[in-house]
Amino acid sequence: MRLRLGALAAVGALLGAGCSSVSSRIQEHRALFDASPREVQDAVRAGRVEAGFTPEQVYMAFGRPDRVMQPKTAGGEGETWLYGASGGSSAGLGFGPGGPGYGTELIAADASAGDARLRVAFLNGRVVSVETRR
């Protein structure tokens, strides 16, 4: 019985780790947050992002994206983070010789990406646009 309760607690902890708040994400990246300008800190705390933000600053404000697209552009390395996209990221939980495991899947561009409520586009490691669907 103790083993079963321990396994259930481990599963709950792993699944709960996927839910994070702005405060917890700031704590994960405390040094970067503290080194950011006051305007960036205020925006992150308010859950906003602006052009010029880094992926880490966007993560602190919005969390892990549901999907990630990696378009090829003439201007450099591009990446688009999608929030509120149906299908989202997939997660798996398994038990085996290596112990419990949890992961998310990086999904390349597909036709269903058009349903995202929020898109954050990066070029060369900086936000170049933020689009919201109304």
pTM for the structure as a whole = 0.66
Give the domain extent around 61: 21-132
- What is the token pair recorded at 19? 């839910």
Q: What is the pLDDT of residue 90?
A: 40
H-run or E-run covering 126: strand 126-132
Percent of the chain predicted with pLDDT > 90: 54
Q: What is the pLDDT of residue 41?
A: 97
**15 assigned to some structural domain:** no
Q: How many domains does the chain have?
A: 1
**119 assigned to some structural domain:** yes
Mean pLDDT, residues 62-91 taken together = 81
Q: Which among 18, 1, 3, 17 is positioned nearest to 95, based on CA atoms?
A: 3
**12 assigned to some structural domain:** no
Residue with tokens 């259930």: 8
64 neighbors 104 (Cβ within 8 angstroms)? yes
Residues 32-70: tens digit of each pLDDT: 999 999 999 999 999 999 999 999 999 999 999 999 999
Mean pLDDT, residues 114-132 taken together = 91
Q: What is the pLDDT of residue 19?
A: 66
Distance, in Å, from the CA atom of 98 to the CA atom of 21, rounded to the nearest integer, reads 29
